[in-house]
Amino acid sequence: MCLTLPKKVIEIKENSVIVENHIGARQELKTIVDLSIGDFVVSQRGIIIETMDRGQAEEILNILQKQGGAI
């Protein structure tokens, strides 16, 4: 079983997307879904596979923050 955490889309390029995780690390990914800046996404092996509801993503990120950001 794989675990992936929500990431926020911060930039959309011609052939890729820049996302930021819960500790501020940025990553350039490919996507198979239509996105907008500010969307929360789930990725697997460098590919964004789906968007995530903002409320659900924020709830997960709040739990991480309360746990000290560990994972």
CATH code, domain carrying 34: 2.30.30.140
Q: What is the pTM of this model?
A: 0.85
Query: What is the model's pLDDT at position 37?
Result: 97
Identify whether 60 is part of a domain: yes
- Residue 64 phi/psi, 5-degree rounding, is -60, -45
Tell me the mean pLDDT per 10 residues along the chain, length 71.
83 96 93 95 94 93 77 56
Identify whether 2 is part of a domain: no
Looking up tokens 């997307």, which residue turns up? 17
Identify whether 37 is part of a domain: yes
Identify whether 49 is part of a domain: yes
Dihedral of alpha carbons 32, 34, 37, 40, sign? negative
Identify whether 39 is part of a domain: yes
**Domain containing residue 45:** 7-66
Identify whether 41 is part of a domain: yes
